[in-house]
Structure 1
Amino acid sequence: MELTRRIQELTPDQLYQELGSRPEGLAQDEAVRRLSVYGPNVLKEVKGKPLIFKLLANFTHIMAIMLWVAGIGAFVARMPELGIAVWAVNIINGAFSFFQEFRAEKATQALKKILPSTSRVMRNGEETSVLAQELVPGDVIFLQEGDSIPADCRLLNSSDLRVNQSTLTGESHPVNRSAEPVSGEQMTRTDIPNLIFAGTFVAAGSGKAIVYATGMNTNFGRIAQITQSLKEELSPLQKEMENVTKIVTVIAVGVGLLFLVIALVLVKIPLIESFIFTLGMVVAFVPEGLLPTVTLALAMGTQRMAKRNALIKKLSAVETLGCTNVICTDKTGTLTQNEMTVRAVWVPATREGEPYAGREIAVSGTGYEPVGTFAENGASLDSRSVGAINDVILTQAKCNTARLLPPETLEDGTKTGWKVLGDPTEAALLVLAEKAGYARADLQNEQSIAELPFDSRRKRMTVVHMQRVDGAIERVAYVKGGIREILDVCSGIRVGDQIIPLNQDWISFIMAQNDDFARQGLRVLAAAARTLPRELDDYQVETIEADLTFLGNIRAGNTHRDADIRFFQGGGIIDTVAGHRDHIAKLLERGDDS
């Protein structure tokens, strides 16, 4: 649909007018009409070669042609056994190559299911569920945590909405989205806060949006169009095989002609016999075993990679990887697993001769599987036995909107991994609490009496719970956020079992610790809490997030893929192209987690 104005600048009423829609959604007959105009909401694929052409391609490349010709030559030279053998090799090799590529193509088609199957839509004033491929511009859709976004949309309203755009940007951290109109002149399209895109998904919150682009007109569709328009080039192996074939052909024909001249001029052999002798010489030069040897070697490589969940569509791609000198790759989800893991818990402490110090508790385990232990200076530790550490863990878990879903057993008997609904870092905090012995269900089902959601200005999140404090039931505010943002609203600090005033020396010490953690490529989240006065009767940021007690912080990192890091280090070439600070790029080069 052609838009006359920038869609990010419009108010909801202007959006309905621009897209020919209304708050009640499109009428069903209008939706059907638009579907016929704009087409289904699917990614169109460039029409591939017919199956018969793909089959014939394995019998008509230059090496195969040389073998066909060699077989004919063998028959003419009165060597039918050799001719049959050469042709049999060619047929078996071509059929085997086609089978490998056909099987890979079928597997690829099974993976191309990125868009959701159904969406919640407002049609004729009623909420209904329709196939995602039937969405059209002007449809009003509803989104909630965990939903895949089926089309490019402009938000109409939202509630603490955060979207994971890693399929478009490569960054796993969810971004905040809101419905307010913005100018967006200096921003890239994926940075505009009121736009959401097909192929991404809702990490947290909920919202209502209006569709403005579907199918190939979406951002995702334009990317697909670019990739499909790329011209397929010969692989290094195919180029080498062509060169070898040309060289062998020239040598074979050259030597054959030389012997033909010798046979006719010097030895005086009759023409027919000389020609047959020459054909035999030419056929003898043909390396009929080369093609199946190469094919089988590549097939073995393909099978080995398949066992490691790598899908090879063409056999020649295996050799192409071996010829690669430089690989440009994204960090998130490629060098790293797109899974956050809490590595340590830090709490303020004092030691003899050190009035400003801390305790660092290491946490084992990686990913979202809630299995791990706590240790201090190498000695095992029960985190719940240390009140200060326990309070940090509980605060981080209570200030949380993520959900952990346990593995499921599929129909074929295989088990899925742990799944996350929400922010990866918040999910890691739930895992931390479960490692400490807290039941996941209790944490996820615990209801707060008030919540101040995280926003990019405050960089803090607060929840208020009813809690037993010194034998009485009190309202306790739990706060998490960035180190500086938490310290700004704290007046006290918990050191061991005591709460003392937070002075500038403690602030300087904590910030210095934070800088050290940042240089390790880790994300730091601070925790604070406060028992609310009984006379407090409103839950505003200014009244809740004040006079807090600083408890400590956690350090979390994105687990790298060991196999990928070993691959690059084994090659001895590490060229880093990163949109990160220098120290994070260097950590990646060394193979450290980031």
Structure 2
Amino acid sequence: MAQPKFKAAGEYAQIPLEQVFQQFKTSSAGISGQEATKRLAKFGQNTIQRGHRQSQFKLFIKNFTSLMAILLWVSGIIALFAGMLELAIAIWAVNLINGIFSFWQEHAAQKATDSLRQMLPAYTQVLRDGQQQRVDAADLVPGDIFTIQAGNSISADARLISATGLQVDESALTGESVPESKTVAYQPGDGKFAESNIVYAGTMAASGDAQAIALNTGMATEFGQIAQLTQNQKQNVSPLQKELNHLTQQISLLAILIGVLFFILAIFFVHYPIAKSFIFALGMIVAFIPEGLLPTVTLSLAQGVQRMAKKHALVKDLSSVETLGETTVICSDKTGTLTQNQMTVNHIWLPSGEYKVSGQGYVNNGQIQTDQQPYTFGHNHDLDLLLQISVLNNNTTVKAPQTADKQAKILGTPTEAALIILAEKAQLDLPSLQAKLPRQTEFPFDSERKRMTTIQNDHGQLTAYVKGALDGLLAISTLILDNGQVRPLTEQDRQTILAADKNYAAAGLRSLAVAYRQLPVQQAEWQQADVEQQLTFVGLTIMADPPRPEIYAAVAKCHAANIRIIMVTGDSALTAKSIACKIGITSDQARVVTGDELAAMSDAELKTALSGELIFARVAPEQKYRVVTMLQSMGEVVASTGDGVNDAPALKKADIGIAMGMTGTDVAKDAADMILTDDNFASIVAAIEEGRTVYSNIQKFLLYILNSNLPEAAPSVVFLFSRGLIPLPLTVMQILTVDLGTDMLPALGLGAERSEPGIMAQPPRAHNAHLLNRQLLWKAFGWYGLIAAILSTAGYFIANHVNGWTLATLANSGLDYRQATTMTLATIIFCQIAAALNCRTKRSSVFRIGLFSNRRIIGGIIFEVLLLLALMYQPELQLIFNTAPLRGSEWLYLLAIPIPLILIDEVRKYWSRRRVVTS
């Protein structure tokens, strides 16, 4: 059911709470169960509705209605009317098999994608009829009062009624990895979704607890609005689909023109009857239509999908594989994509010195070390105290991973988790420490104080442990711990501390200050103001969301392949630039454009900015969409990565949308064309390499399949120019034998060829480049095809010569004629054996990659030889295909063909490599 329009949740931030209750006709005791039922009927369920999906029947039919498929259907109909039932059945069978296979592959990918879906939280605690109740989150309605606890996903856009130490991870909406503090009192924030008293559906409570009134649910939430924007996007036609359509048009026009030309020549030049001329022309059309194109393209894509799945990349649509290979720009989110989405302490600053922290990620075997030697807890008083405060003034639990391939589970905030891991690296025994110094009192973190304080009891001696933002904590500190001694905090000390913090900030790092105070007396209750004063400053923990270890090599590969990476993140400008420079995406000269600056830019200004080094920070969802759209208007093929709801519109708009499977939201996964099941940016680079390989393999297939067209057409040319004196050296059914029989398996083997050396050192193909280009046509017709045409025509005359026939006595029937056409067919097949091996590489030597390393091609060659033998020696097949057995001398001619052709082509490739090196 469609929801009535409500105001955006942020518009309720400054309205007095009593007025909010009045507007939603509710109170702090909640609504009644009866009223909840009415509202559920009015507003609909609190779920994210999926966009309209095509029926399975329409998806099935789609695979039989492409331009190439239609061309094959028409070819079969023409063959049927020409009285060639076998030809019609063979062509239609190819179309059917290809369509079914393609549908099955895409259906399997869609099922795998659907299995990743996990929508909003299953249950929510609400107040109804004045009682706390556990209800399905889908039944939450506007006006409900519900409870939020640490670790809970938030089920609706809501206004806070009460909150204690609440911090919310809004990275799914904003891309910001650090949780936001939330309070009942309104405070404006930086950017969208930053109101302090509003929480949003799809985000998660990192710590604390709260009560809130539901404002918007389901598709009316900000989460739902972004999902709707995504669903309303039209599906773009992939570059490969466009190119295949273009190729089909080219080939169709070429085949029809040649067919018409030969039809006219057969009637007026050879004086053939119209019916015979039509069948003759049909043979030429069949010769020039690559019937195996669709199955080979489909299989190449499917094999690419399977190889990518093994590398943790799930592709939802087959054509997306090749689109990746054309990518010229990657618009990448930062948090969870380029970085690990987990805060890690990498430095500790103390008045006595700086410490570097070794190891990254959630591991238990790392150590804190100085430049000289490893450090373990118990060897440095100042450092020990900092670690002790960090873990006792802490409400987060880190559960170790159960298996090696799993991440640790955090119950709390990433910042506090980083402190826990820091202590574990120093081998601190946390359970023993907590037992020795139990907590007596806590003053939770809030956004005004920007600090948290706990009081620990050490056998009657009370000590306040404080951690928080440096500016506020330094203001209430009067002492400093320096080499185990406490002394007054001087102005010079303050300047030294602030200078160190500024240097870390310039590197995109975050600091957390630590201090303590020994309380003078034992008392049951303490007031916050009495405790948080006259503190002793201990030091700083310096942390960041670190880049993924494999990201450096992945970025370098992108640069080598002439692929730009543009960071588009909701994080701060300073952090974004620091990460971008650190991992090599940009230089230090890159311009950082914030969301506010982007909003003020005209399209012309944005286009100019996108021509240089650029980073986008603090951007809203619609702005990511605008960046992708502008890049596409500039002729770029854009891949957009992300994991949050805020990324979904850009993912949908991009030529290839890439979502994170582990941390990604369901809206992002639905919008994407590809899902990384390991959230690894390096998998994108591997996928791009696969995409380039698929495109290269399709070109290799085209080269292989087209080079047989010339020897297939040459006999008809001989027939025409002899004005019918020389009988047709090749029949229509024999032409089809090459196209659908002997050529098919080696061609499919080319579709499975591995990446050629150096494929990622080349730029993406030009946007206006075509599969069928001049270089490919020259190789197909002017090199491989010409050689095969000469040899096959020679084979025809050799067979006739062996039989004692002369030009004047050639006949178009009888055993000797069938032997001659069989010789033509066999020569083409043996030329194709050499071509299958030659086409495996463009410039590299086929011996370098291993002459027999592609088992599919070797199997295809064996199959085509066996098929040729069956056509020669099976009486039933002899009758259908007009064939006959060959003599021993003719077999010697055939066996002498492949090796010289391979060696000749190796010489050509050698000179081709030399030209590239010298140029």
TM-score clears 0.5: yes
Letter in 1 for 2:515: A
Output the CA distance in 2 between the equivalents of 1:520 and 1:72. 70
Pair 1:88 & 2:78 matched: no
Q: Helix, strand or coil: the match of 1:337?
A: coil
The DSSP-based 3-state class of the residue aligned with 1:449 is: strand
Greater percentage in strand: 1
Cα contact 1:141–1:210 (8 A) shared by 2: yes
User: Residue 132 of structure 1 aligns with which residue?
Assistant: 137
Render the CA deviation track for 1:485-524: whole Å, top value 9, x for unaligned.
3332222222222222222222222222222222332212
Q: What corresponds to 1:294 in structure 2?
A: 297
Query: SS of 1:339's equivalent?
Result: coil
Question: 1:535 and 1:571 mapped to 2: Cα distance?
Answer: 62
2:450 maps to 1:459:
yes
| Shift, 1:191, TM fit | 1.5
Whether contact under 8 Å (1:115, 1:148) holds in the other structure is yes
Stretch deviating more after TM superposition (75-84 or 221-230): 75-84
Aligned AA (2:125): R
Q: Does 1:347 align with 2:350?
A: yes
2:170 matched to 1:176?
no
CA distance in 1, matches of 2:369, 2:186: 50
Counterpart among 187, 200, 203 of residue 203 in structure 2: 200
Report the equivalent of 1:238: 241
Deviation at 1:395?
1.0
In 2, Cα distance between the equivalents of 1:462 and 1:592? 39
1:553-591 Cα offsets, whole Å, 9 max, x none, are 222121223445533332223444565345741542341
1:580 aligned partner: 572
Query: Given that residues 555 and 584 in structure 2 are in contact (C-alpha distance below 8 angstroms), is that contact kept between their aligned partners in structure 1?
Result: no
**In structure 2, what is the equivalent of residue 167 of structure 1?**
172
1:42 matched residue in structure 2? 47
Identify the residue that residue 423 of structure 2 maps to in structure 1.
Answer: 433
Residue 120 of structure 2 corresponds to residue 115 of structure 1: yes
> In the TM superposition, what are the counterparts of 1:248-267 in structure 2 within 5 Å?
248-267=251-270
For residues 494 and 246 of structure 2, the distance between their equivalents in structure 1, rounded to whole angstroms, comes to 69
Residues 384-429 of structure 1, C-alpha deviations (whole Å, 9 max, x = no match):
32121111111111221222233357xxxx9742111222111111
Determine the C-alpha separation between the residues in 2 that align with 1:204 and 1:593: 34
Mapping of 1:219-238 within 5 angstroms? 219-238=222-241
1:593–1:379 CA distance, 2 compared to 1 (3 A): farther
Rounded to whole Å, the distance in 2 between the matches of 1:192 and 1:506 is 36
My pick for the range that moved more, 449-458 or 316-325, is 449-458
CA contact (8 A) 2:344 2:418 kept: yes
Q: CA RMSD in A?
A: 2.6
Report 1:367-382 matches (<5 A): 367-377=361-371, 379-382=373-376
Shift of 1:187: 7.6
Q: Where does residue 338 of structure 1 map in the other structure? A: 341
Of 454, 461, 467, 1:480 maps to 467
Change (3 A) 1:311 1:508: same
| CA deviation vs aligned residue, 1:421-465 (integer Å, no higher than 9, x gap) | 222111111111122223455567874212222233332221110
* Maintained 8 Å contact 1:68/1:90: yes
Q: In the aligned structure 1, how far is the partner of 2:428 from the partner of 2:178?
A: 26
Change (3 A) 1:425 1:45: same
Match of 1:589 in 2: 581
Q: Is 1:313 aligned to residue 313 of structure 2?
A: no
Name the counterpart of 1:142. Answer: 147
- The answer for unaligned runs of 5 or more in structure 2 is 587-919
Aligned to 1:213: 216
Q: Does 1:53 align with 2:40?
A: no
Partner of 2:13, secondary structure, is helix
Higher fraction of helix: 2
Shift of 1:330: 1.9
The answer to whether the aligner puts 1:417 opposite 2:430 as a matched pair is no
Matched with 2:401 is 407
Candidates 39, 60, 67, aligned match of 2:72: 67
Give the distance between the partners of 2:126 and 2:579, measured in 1 at CA. Answer: 46
CA contact (8 A) 2:251 2:289 kept: yes
Superposed counterparts of 1:544-559, under 5 Å:
544-559=531-546
CA deviation string 1:219-277 (max 9, x = no partner): 11111110000011100000000000000000000011111111111111100000011
**Maintained 8 Å contact 2:171/2:177:** yes
Q: State the Cα distance separating 1:77 from its structure 2 match.
A: 5.0
Write the mapping of 1:4-19 to structure 2, written as runs, cut at 5 A.
6-19=11-24
Deviations 1:107-147 (CA, angstroms, capped at 9, x unpaired): 22222223001111111111111111111111111110011
Amino acid at match of 1:566: A
Query: Which amino acid is 2:182 matched to?
Result: R
What letter is aligned with 2:222? N
1:355 corresponds to which residue?
Answer: none
Task: State the identity as a percent.
Answer: 40
- Identify the residue that residue 274 of structure 1 maps to in structure 2: 277
The code of the aligned residue for 2:175 comes to G
Go from structure 1 to structure 2 and tell me whether the alpha carbon gap of 1:102 and 1:550 turns closer, same or farther (over 3 Å shift).
same
In structure 1, what is the Cα distance between the partners aligned to 2:578 and 2:540? 25
Distance 1:581 1:3 in 2: 33
Q: Match for 2:144: what amino acid? A: D
**Secondary structure of the structure 2 residue equivalent to 1:559:** coil
Please give the alpha-carbon distance, in whole angstroms, between the structure 1 residues aligned to 2:317 and 2:6. 42
Work out whether residues 11 and 181 of structure 1, in 8 Å CA contact, stay in contact via their aligned partners in 2. no
Q: Would you say 1:515 and 2:506 are equivalent positions?
A: no
Cα distance in 1 between the residues matched to 2:433 and 2:302: 50
Q: 1:310 to 1:210 in 2, by over 3 A?
A: same
Aligned counterparts of 2:482 and 2:23: Cα–Cα separation in 1: 59
Match of 2:385 among 369, 381, 391: 391
In the aligned structure 2, how far is the partner of 1:512 from the partner of 1:518? 10
CA distance in 1, matches of 2:434, 2:202: 27
Deviations 1:72-113 (A, max 9, x none): 344455655554443333222222221221122122222222
Report what 1:354 is aligned to: none
* Code of the aligned partner of 1:499: V
TM-score, normalised via structure 2 length: 0.59
Counterpart of 1:23, as a letter, is S
> Of residues 358, 365, 377 in structure 1, which corresponds to 2:359?
365
Q: 2 CA distance for matches of 1:570 and 1:129?
A: 51
CA contact (8 A) 2:513 2:541 kept: yes
**Alpha-carbon contact 2:183-2:446 (below 8 Å) kept:** no
Count of residue correspondences: 575
Alignment-derived partner of residue 353 in structure 1: none
Distance 1:496 1:189, change over 3 A: closer
Per the TM alignment, residue 538 of structure 1 is displaced from its structure 2 partner at its CA by 5.6
C-alpha distance in structure 1 between counterparts of 2:121 and 2:505, whole Å: 38
Deviation of 1:293 after TM superposition, in Å, equals 2.1
> What is the CA–CA distance in structure 2 between the aligned matches of 1:322 and 1:258, rounded to whole Å?
39
Give 1:47 shift. Answer: 2.5
Contact kept, 8 Å, 2:48 with 2:119, in 1: the verdict is: no
Counterpart CA distance in 2 for 1:248 and 1:4 is 56
Over 3 Å counting, the alpha-carbon distance change for 1:176 and 1:538 in structure 2 is same
- Structure ID, larger Rg: 2
Tell me if the contact between 1:346 and 1:389 (Cα under 8 Å) persists in the aligned partners: no
